[in-house]
Amino acid sequence: MRAILFSFLLFLSITSVAQKLSISIFNDTNLNTILVTPTKGNYSMVLGDSMITIKPLQILYISRQGDSVLVRDENRSYGSFKRVTLVGQSGEDVFRLKPIIPAKPARLYDDNITFYVEFNRIMAINVIDREKYIAAVVLAETGPDKEPELYKAQALLARTFTVSHADKHQSEGFNLCDQEHCQAYKGRPEAFQDVYDAVLDVKDLIVVDSASRPISAAFHANCGGQTANSEDVWIQALPYLRSVNDRFCTSAPNARWERTIPLTEWKKFLAQQGVDTAKLIRENLNFYPKERPKYYTVLGVNIPTTTVRKYFKLRSAWFSVSAGKNEVRISGRGYGHGVGMCQDGAMAMAQRGWTYDKIIQYYFKDVKIIELSKVNLEPVKPDSTEVKPFDVLQ
């Protein structure tokens, strides 16, 4: 018993480059009552100092009782504990988790799960093999039935993000949350195997800059034909996030969009930006950029196109403006911030036989694809304190 617990503790003592990650699932939900059911493999349950075997398809009721976790099944109560952990024993273990209070759709997850009470809710920490996690993230970001080379390119970006942000929730005792705040993770997807095979083909590879530091792994749905420089969207100019022309995405549905905005609203916005709207004539509003614009300039006032995008919730910051009598017509290109890899372009490249490394090197300038074991992660955050091993059982 002690030996089993000890080895369990050992494998949860992980650093950011370890094979296992701890992810807070349903991190946006105040979990109070949950059903958990093993659906594949063999599970044991660690309850305080003891460990019991869970039968396949056995339904466990997990609920909060003060600052402890109460565990029951249909027949009996196992008692309440500070921590409850389901540990997969076969290496191919999957469980279903269904939040009851509040009610949410059930999801499947790989590997292990630990429950404890914090912030007046049950925390559910999925301790999962990194590559299985990457496969789930890739599918959440790209959708099913895509080209394997696109999955591989996306896997490199997801892995690069994962290893360089593994301390994002360190103070809370886990690596990453399952929300957009980190990377969207919705558990084991239905089309898991296709994506997982592609992910394993590029196992342990990440993308680094010329100084061998993990890159800022930006991507977006569609660039409209030209990607953006990082400093045009965010503050920092990164040498590998340069604007490139992209002829691959321009016939995808996301390449073009239209919006009509009442002239009064448009003028109100311009006034807020410091334009003297009393002097405006219609022609001053017209705007036909030949390439991805950084500013929309009206009567000498430079307004960042990203500001226009944010204010009117436009699909992208690349647009032209045609002023009518009572409204302005916005014709836009692309979908998303435009920095880094264009998913529609990458998909079209993959369909034409481009391999994942060529795709990555097209969208990121002077980067290298290297094995994780050869990366020194320390320079990523020179000002951060020493990264301590995580241990979700502490």
Give the per-residue contact string, 212-251, with Zn ion (x = CB under 5 A; - = no): -----------x----------------------x--x--
- Return d(Cα 122, Cα 319) in angstroms, integer: 46
Give the per-residue contact string, 351-370, with Zn ion (x = CB under 5 A; - = no): --------------------
Residue 336 makes contact with Zn ion by CB under 5 A: no
Q: Tell the smallest beta-carbon distance from residue 220 to Zn ion (Å).
A: 8
Nearer to Zn ion, 24 or 37 (CB): 24
DSSP state of 186: -
Nearer to Zn ion, 249 or 280 (CB): 249
Q: Are 79 and 69 in contact (CB under 8 A)?
A: no
Q: Tell the smallest beta-carbon distance from residue 52 to Zn ion (Å).
A: 32
- Return d(Cα 60, Cα 71) in angstroms, integer: 7
Give the per-residue contact string, 285-324, with Zn ion (x = CB under 5 A; - = no): ----------------------------------------
Nearer to Zn ion, 209 or 246 (CB): 246
Contacts with Zn ion by CB under 5 A: the residue count is 8
Helix/strand/coil for 75:
coil
Nearer to Zn ion, 252 or 323 (CB): 252
Give the per-residue contact string, 8-47, with Zn ion (x = CB under 5 A; - = no): ----------------------------------------
Q: Are 99 and 26 in contact (CB under 8 A)?
A: yes
Q: Tell the smallest beta-carbon distance from residue 274 to Zn ion (Å).
A: 33
Structure-token pair, residue 287: 């705007």
Identified binder of Zn ion from the candidate list 345, 356, 363, 372, rule CB under 5 A = 345
Nearer to Zn ion, 155 or 223 (CB): 223
Nearer to Zn ion, 93 or 344 (CB): 344
Q: Are 135 and 195 in contact (CB under 8 A)?
A: yes
Q: Contacts from 231-238 at CB under 8 Å and sequence distance 24+? A: 232/292, 232/294, 232/306, 232/317, 233/306, 233/317, 233/337, 233/338, 233/339, 234/339, 238/209
Span from 82-90, 170-178, 184-192, 262-270 in contact with Zn ion (CB under 5 A): 170-178
Helix/strand/coil for 158:
helix
User: Within the chain, where are the H helices?
Assistant: 2-12, 130-142, 148-164, 192-201, 230-233, 263-272, 282-285, 305-312, 343-351, 356-363
Q: Tell the smallest beta-carbon distance from residue 31 to Zn ion (Å).
A: 16
Q: What are phi and psi of 87, to 5 degrees?
A: -115, 120
Element (H, E) at 127: strand 121-129
Identified binder of Zn ion from the candidate list 45, 163, 342, 359, rule CB under 5 A = 342
Pairing of strands 176-177, 20-24: parallel
Span from 105-113, 149-157, 277-285, 334-342 in contact with Zn ion (CB under 5 A): 334-342
Helix/strand/coil for 221:
coil
- Return d(Cα 391, Cα 28) in angstroms, integer: 22
374 C-beta neighbours (distance < 10 Å), count:
11
Bridge partners (DSSP) of residue 339 are: 228
Give the per-residue contact string, 175-214, with Zn ion (x = CB under 5 A; - = no): --x---xx--------------------------------
Span from 74-82, 196-204, 261-269, 337-345 in contact with Zn ion (CB under 5 A): 337-345
Residues that bind Zn ion (CB under 5 A): 177, 181-182, 223, 246, 249, 342, 345
